[in-house]
Amino acid sequence: MSDFTFNREEYLKRINFDGEVSVDFESLKSIHRAQHLSIPFENFDICLGRNIRIDPKSIFQKLVKHKRGGYCFELNGLLLMALKAFGFDARPLLGRVHLSREVTGRTHQTTLVTIDGKSWIVDLGFGAEAPLIPIPLIYNEPISFQKQTYRLIKDEVFAYILQNNPNGHWKNLYSFDLNPVFDIDIKLGNHYTSTHPDSFFTNARIAALPIENGMISLYHNKLKKVINGKEELITLKDDSSCLDVIRKEFGIELDAEYGDLKGLR
């Protein structure tokens, strides 16, 4: 048995949330937005060759106490714990990423939240393309926020597919169904995603953090800033100054040398 107890006050402080929390859609939307703006998407521990531990205590220690970020199993794992702690009806779902033509395994964790008979997909773990607001569990109903537009479509094989519309054309992001997800399913997905040589996350340095007027993201050594609709692309130097950029742009203080970070690939 774990001795971990979720600390609601410490979590709210970490995400810079100072309001009251009720079990309603407005609180759900506010918590989702606050965590999204405060805790970055990132895979630096994978790049350092470290195990990604997704038990509740480890997630809370890393993302809240140590002020790090994480990827879907960590970010959405933390959100799921928080929502349950505040009394929401929430449970995990697993999805297949559709950004390439190949069918992938169920390696993306997201969250289903139900309030008064209505359900939403709440996702903080899809990098720069993660929805900034909860997505209603309704087919073919586009929802837009800050130049993002998403919808869910029905598929005979994959059930629900989440799409976005970045350039006027719908693009598949990931699919999911509503079947129960167990701890072992999440452990298997996390293990593959964080260790397998074919995993996207073991072959790239990745980070993303929404800001009030845009998005900051990192892929390999390319830092992209999209602010008020204007895009700036910066090539980072292959030296320790990269750690300063990670600290400044994403608020991440890595307890490692730069040579350790780039040594994985």
Q: 119-155, pLDDT tens digit by residue? A: 999 999 999 999 999 999 999 999 998 888 999 999 9
Q: In this structure, is residue 1 part of a structural domain?
A: no
Q: In this structure, is residue 148 part of a structural domain?
A: yes
Q: In this structure, is residue 127 part of a structural domain?
A: yes
Nearest to 227 by CA among 210, 245, 208: 210
Record the tokens describing residue 215, joined without a space.
């998005």
> φ, ψ for residue 105 (rounded to 5)?
-75, 180
Q: How far is CA 128 from the centre of its chain?
A: 9
- Please indicate whether residue 213 or residue 69 has the higher confidence score (pLDDT): 69
Q: Looking at this protein, which amino acid is placed at residue 195?
A: T
Q: In this structure, is residue 49 part of a structural domain?
A: yes
Mean pLDDT within 179-207: 96
Residues acting as catalytic residues: 72, 108, 123
Q: At 164, which CATH number?
A: 3.30.2140.20
Q: In this structure, is residue 3 part of a structural domain?
A: no
Per residue in 35-52, pLDDT tens? 999 999 999 999 999 999
Q: Residue 86 and residue 95: Cα distance in Å, rounded?
A: 25
Per-residue pLDDT, 155: 95
Mean pLDDT within 25-34: 97
- On whether the CB atoms of residues 134 and 152 are closer than 8 A, the answer is no
Q: In this structure, is residue 96 part of a structural domain?
A: yes
Mean pLDDT within 145-173: 93
Q: In this structure, is residue 2 part of a structural domain?
A: no
- On whether the CB atoms of residues 41 and 70 are closer than 8 A, the answer is yes
224, pLDDT greater than 60: yes
1, pLDDT greater than 50: no
117, pLDDT greater than 90: yes
Q: In this structure, is residue 56 part of a structural domain?
A: yes
Domain extent for 256: 8-262
Q: Residue 22 and residue 197: Cα distance in Å, rounded?
A: 43
2, pLDDT greater than 80: no
65, pLDDT greater than 50: yes
- Please indicate whether residue 76 or residue 263 has the higher confidence score (pLDDT): 76
Instruction: Write down the pTM of the prediction.
Output: 0.95
Mean pLDDT within 49-62: 97
Per-residue pLDDT, 220: 92
Per-residue pLDDT, 265: 44
Q: Structural domain tally of the chain? A: 1
Residue 195 contacts by C-beta under 8 Å, 6 or more apart in sequence? 202
Q: Residue 100 and residue 122: Cα distance in Å, rounded?
A: 23
Per-residue pLDDT, 168: 87
